[in-house]
Amino acid sequence: MSASVIVSLSHLTSMKLQRVNTYIIPHLLVLFMILLASTSTRAQVEELEDEREFDYIGASEKGPRHWGEMKKEWSSCKNGHLQSPIDLSCARVKIIPRCRQPDIYYTATNATIINRGHDIAVYWKDDAGSVYLNGTEYFLKQCHWHSPSEHSMNGRRYDLEMHMVHVSPDNKIFVVGALYKFGHRPDRFLSQLEKDIKHLVDNEVEREIGETNPSGLQTRGNAYYRYVGSLTTPPCTEGVIWNIDRKIRTVSEEQVRLLREAVHDHAERNARPMQRRYNRDILYFRSKSRAKPEYY
């Protein structure tokens, strides 16, 4: 075999390996992430609703430092290695280019807004739609807000974070998250709820709000982060797939103030402290050909 043929074969092999790295490895990373989530405990898929059992005060015996010691079933809050929230640093992400986004379908249905003491949440009574990801369908159950944001980007925490909690028929959890900063433009979805939230300030626990379309939350961006973590309140259940939109939206200071006034005093700042990453993969999906994540 001539030297030129050997060089050509070597070049061809190199090109094939590059294609494998470009197309196969990202899919293997996604598959590994799904398997990791599915093998984690799913004993309790909902966040705790009795807020009297915990709080967010740093020095309190019920504060985040002690959540994992208060009940045996909350031990993951202290001992888990897949805890949330974490910092989404552009230096740590694995970029997955030209990747198809999850199939998302939402529809308007009757909902109830509830003051859970530690946050304000909207629960949809019927089928409000779902997210279809890697062969699993996750149905939307509720959304709620944390202030300041729980996740950070490059070390920066923003003014508000919204979570849309989805659950599959076999109790796997998928959470869509969005971060907000103060701006002149208020959030449209919260604007629709302002009158109802004001009723909750006066200790009304819950209120029917009629047909509410989750699409108003506008969480479908061009780029997002995905990693396997946990619920951010007790029992801190692990195996949660997080999908955090890269786009930073705007919210008015009055809207955040209203959310804080409605909850109990210990939860006015209801963000769990940052958790250790433990070398977890953070995948960055983008549908546009940008070289790296951007921040606002």
* Residue 118 is among the residues annotated as catalytic for this protein: yes
Indicate which residue of 66, 118, 163, 166 is catalytic.
118
Output the six-digit token pair for 287. Answer: 């549908």
DSSP assignment of the chain equals --HHHHHHHHHHHHHHHHHIIIIIHHHHHHHHHHHHHHHS--S--S----GGG----TTSTTSGGGHHHH-GGGTHHHH-SS-S--EE-TTTEEEEETPPPPEEEE--EEEEEEE-SS-EEEEESS--EEEEETTEEEEEEEEEEESS-SSEETTEE-SEEEEEEEE-TT--EEEEEEEEEE-SS--HHHHHHHHHHHHHHTT--EEEEEEE-GGGG----SEEEEEEEE-SSTT--EEEEEEEEEEEEEE-HHHHHHHHHHS-GGGSS--PPP---TT--EEEEESS--SS----
Positions marked active-site: 118
